[in-house]
Structure 1
Amino acid sequence: MLQLLVHPVFGRLFAAQVVALVGTGLLTVALGLLAYDLAGSAASRVLGTAYAIKMVAYVGLAPIAGALVAKMPRKRVLIGADIVRALVALTLPFINEIWQIYLAIFLLQTASATFTPTFQATIPDILKDDDDYAKGLSLSRLAYDLENLVSPALAGLLLLIITYHWLFGGTVIGFALSALLIVGTRLPQRTDDKDRPFRDRLTRGLRIYLATPRLRGLLALTLTAAAASAFVIVNTVVLVRDTLGGTDGDVAIALAAFGAGSMAAALTLPRLLKKRGDRPVMIGGAVLLCVIMAVQSVIYPGWIAFLLLWGATGIGYATTLTPQGRLLRRSAHNEDRPAVFTAQFALSHACWLFLYPLAGGLMTTYGAHVTLGVFGVIGAVGVALALRLWPSGDPEVILHSHPDLPPDHPHVQAHGRSHAHALIIDDEHHVWPTQG
């Protein structure tokens, strides 16, 4: 896996991802402290609103941003998004009103909603071998997990010698370094030479996504993963401090256990995916999440058992979601991949937009056991939908016909009226498995 780091293009993009994630991690810590300075005991409400704005930007603006930059060179898009994020981060130390936090978060996440899907759609054009791409996805997952572990620790060390306002400087440096790394990288060019209307560019990724069975199954599994992770992210602090009587340091240890489980899964996934395939592995991870939530809804784990359950949740989470890039790559032509990655980005964050407040509301009103029971049911619904929407076998080559294409259509002339090939939703194949 680590040999990919010497790849002349992927290595630089991975480094860009890492430094940007470190900057984002420092931002998370500093933003919480800024909110406390401005709002005091109401800081949780401020941060809750800020992260809701983040999800709204991801869900609502990602498709629009993707459509607007669809014809632009990827390199310019990635560098431009990093520059916008760095410029917004420069203003953060000067914020003195709560509404300014909300505006800054909106601008930052709008840029991220442009950067992330474009970045994700570029990787499969660089790592064309399936095994290399699986390893690349695992490295990307590791980067996210390491950010969750390293950035808070780095922030804690820096706060011993500087005020939190200077942490925003680290965020600026992270985004600036990311842009510089991309400047010196030769990225593959977009291959779509069709001048599509804006409305088509806006909806194309969503149409391809929802018309493809394996991607509908992916969305269902994302619901399961989002249910488990939303409970962990929102309620770990309450469970550790109030239920288990732990300290702030114990909260960090619990979240580290979740991250460590995710990292362990990411390290083993390339070999497991090669041996078992995407569908069994991803559904297995989702089933594990459902079992864990069901178990926790009826038992009262001690500290060690709690850490083991959190680690197992990290394993199930990474196992369920890390292979998603492989499905997206299989399900779209090169020119449509950015739109399909954008659709996954928006739809997946819609799950968290719904589940984050539900996790907090149920926990506050009814407690952990009821919340875990409800979320376990939501997770089970996701698994059941995935089993139904994503048929087993999931063949690449499918027999189909084109009754409505004219006889002189190039696709009909090349393959015949009825034929079999690797089916992807596109201009000639509007529905699955035949064109409507």
Structure 2
Amino acid sequence: MRPFPVSTAAGDKRSYYRLFSGYVLAMVSTGVAVVALSVLAFRIAGEDAGAVIGTALSIKMLAYVLGAPLAAAYLSAVPRRPLMVGLDLLRAGAIFALPFVTHVWQIYALVFLFTLCSAAFTPAYQASVPHLLPDPDAYATSLARSRVASELEGAVSPLIAAALFLALSLRGVFLAAMSGFLLSALLIASARLPTPTPRTGALATVFDGFRRLFSNRALRGLPPLALGVGAASAMVMVNTVVLVQGDYTLPEEATALALGVFGLGSVAGALALPPLLRRAPERALMLAGGATMAGALALGTFAQLYATLLALWAAIGLGAALASAPAASLIRRAVEPEAHQTVYAAWFSWSAASMGIGYAAAGWLGATISLEATFAALAVFAAAAAGLAALLWPALAPRPTTP
């Protein structure tokens, strides 16, 4: 039995599919632009391109952490359709300008602008979907669909970029990515999206989103679980190449396969969500995901074979999907509709910060101690995160109230 009431509004599936199509187009266009940006960085900075890309990714993480809650606060009263269309157009403009830059600082400025727009776009998308799909099963399926699309984007976008480079110049590839955002804007412009309830006090709204995330009894388990997801995912993203090509002395293709298996595990977890959410509460699924990640990391200390690593990476991907994807469903039911966007933004920001902490920990530990010890340290951290979530999280969440 669901602990929170669910809206019985009719919803608008046609608008949802237009919104989702625009969301996917924007994701793919972002992936293509990232590949083109790597080529551009090499043309401008030469052998220092790696430092340029690393700095750009750091700027991207900072923009996500700071930009999402601020954008949600200052833009929460703006009707979502013109807001999201405008953000797509701004992103298209940033990509259009990239091929014309001549200095590294210009790349950083455009990446920051682009990422700020993405940080505002994603919470607005997340806050719109529950209104378009009020049925719990349809909404659970939409969460799975978004997770699968996100994982597939990581694999498909580089292939699309490679195909575009066979036929187009660098500027042409950027223009193709820009066209994706323009088409996304057209799709969203044709959808009927809910109008948010105006809220006063932008800075107060920022803090209100985080306050609700950390103090609402039904959501208290989300922040520690996000830290566990960040630690486990970072171990995969940062140290796969070291393990595969260093310890196992395998070729680059084996690294790509290992990362692909991690993605497949995440896709499997996402596809399993709709039926699982009909049988178990979010809390149980998310804690199970946290335990799965911690267990896989612990077993990693004994991974001597490449096949074993593949199995562990699939388990971590599965656990990460279970531990994070249901969060949007929980926020939807635990928070009043007028606060959805700010709480989604706080969750988005906290998740990005958790990934940043995980990247730093996995990279620093892997470089200073053995990878076996890194596995063990991150396993303890992930287990502690899951344990803290279980302690802070009541087994039966209350009905939504203003905390």
Give 3-state SS (helix, strand or coil) of 1:358's partner. Answer: helix
Alignment counterpart, residue 170 of structure 1, candidates 166, 176, 179: 176
- Cα 1:170–1:244, aligned 2, differ >3 Å: closer, same or farther? farther
Q: Deviations over 1:376-418 (max 9, x none)?
A: 1221121011011111122x3xxxxxxxxxxxxxxxxxxxxxx
- Cα 1:371–1:213, aligned 2, differ >3 Å: closer, same or farther? same
Give unmatched runs, 5+ long, in structure 2.
1-11
Give unmatched runs, 5+ long, in structure 1.
1-5, 397-421, 426-430, 432-436
Q: State whether structure 2 residue 374 is matched by structure 1 residue 371.
A: yes
Deviation larger for 89-98 or 153-162: 153-162
Q: State whether structure 2 residue 191 is matched by structure 1 residue 217.
A: no
Query: For residues 219 and 80 of structure 1, what CA distance do their matches in structure 2 show?
Result: 31
Instruction: Name the TM-score, length of structure 2 as normaliser.
Output: 0.93
CA offset at residue 179 of structure 1? 0.7
Q: Deviations over 1:101-135 (max 9, x none)?
A: 21111111111111111111111111111111111
Q: State whether structure 2 residue 190 is matched by structure 1 residue 184.
A: yes
CA offset at residue 311 of structure 1? 1.6
User: Does structure 2 conserve the Cα–Cα contact (< 8 Å) formed by 1:223 and 1:382?
Assistant: yes
1:400 is matched with: none
Alignment counterpart, residue 27 of structure 1, candidates 24, 28, 33: 33
1:100 is matched with: 106
CA offset at residue 52 of structure 1? 1.2
1:62 is matched with: 68
User: Does structure 2 conserve the Cα–Cα contact (< 8 Å) formed by 1:10 and 1:123?
Assistant: yes
- Cα 1:359–1:257, aligned 2, differ >3 Å: closer, same or farther? same
Q: State whether structure 2 residue 401 is matched by structure 1 residue 424.
A: yes
Query: Which of 1 and 2 has higher RCO (CA within 8 Å, sep 6+)?
Result: 2
Q: How does 1:3-402 map to 2 (within 5 A)?
A: 7-190=13-196, 192=197, 195-300=199-304, 302-394=305-397, 396=398
Runs (4+) of structure 1 exceeding 4 A deviation are: none
Give 3-state SS (helix, strand or coil) of 1:160's partner. Answer: helix
User: Does structure 1 conserve the Cα–Cα contact (< 8 Å) formed by 2:273 and 2:322?
Assistant: yes
User: Does structure 1 conserve the Cα–Cα contact (< 8 Å) formed by 2:214 and 2:223?
Assistant: no
Query: For residues 367 and 40 of structure 1, what CA distance do their matches in structure 2 show?
Result: 32
**What is the identity, as a one-letter code, of the residue corresponding to 2:340?**
R
User: Does structure 1 conserve the Cα–Cα contact (< 8 Å) formed by 2:303 and 2:309?
Assistant: no
How many residues are paired up?
392
User: Does structure 2 conserve the Cα–Cα contact (< 8 Å) formed by 1:214 and 1:389?
Assistant: no
Query: For residues 125 and 66 of structure 1, what CA distance do their matches in structure 2 show?
Result: 17
Q: Deviations over 1:135-181 (max 9, x none)?
A: 11000101101101111222222333334443322321221111110
Rg (Cα) greater in structure: 1
- Cα 1:96–1:239, aligned 2, differ >3 Å: closer, same or farther? farther
Query: For residues 62 and 73 of structure 2, what CA distance do their matches in structure 1 show?
Result: 17
Q: Deviations over 1:23-61 (max 9, x none)?
A: 011122222232333334433322222111111111112
Q: Deviations over 1:255-300 (max 9, x none)?
A: 2111111111111111011112111111111101001111112332
Give 3-state SS (helix, strand or coil) of 1:196's partner. Answer: coil
Query: For residues 280 and 111 of structure 1, what CA distance do their matches in structure 2 show?
Result: 34
Query: For residues 306 and 40 of structure 1, what CA distance do their matches in structure 2 show?
Result: 35
**What is the identity, as a one-letter code, of the residue corresponding to 1:238?**
V
**Pairwise CA RMSD of aligned residues?**
1.7
**What is the identity, as a one-letter code, of the residue corresponding to 1:345?**
F
Give 3-state SS (helix, strand or coil) of 2:167's partner. Answer: coil
User: Does structure 2 conserve the Cα–Cα contact (< 8 Å) formed by 1:25 and 1:147?
Assistant: yes
User: Does structure 2 conserve the Cα–Cα contact (< 8 Å) formed by 1:38 and 1:96?
Assistant: yes
**What is the identity, as a one-letter code, of the residue corresponding to 1:230?**
A
User: Does structure 1 conserve the Cα–Cα contact (< 8 Å) formed by 2:13 and 2:133?
Assistant: no
**What is the identity, as a one-letter code, of the residue corresponding to 1:423?**
P
Q: Percent identity?
A: 38
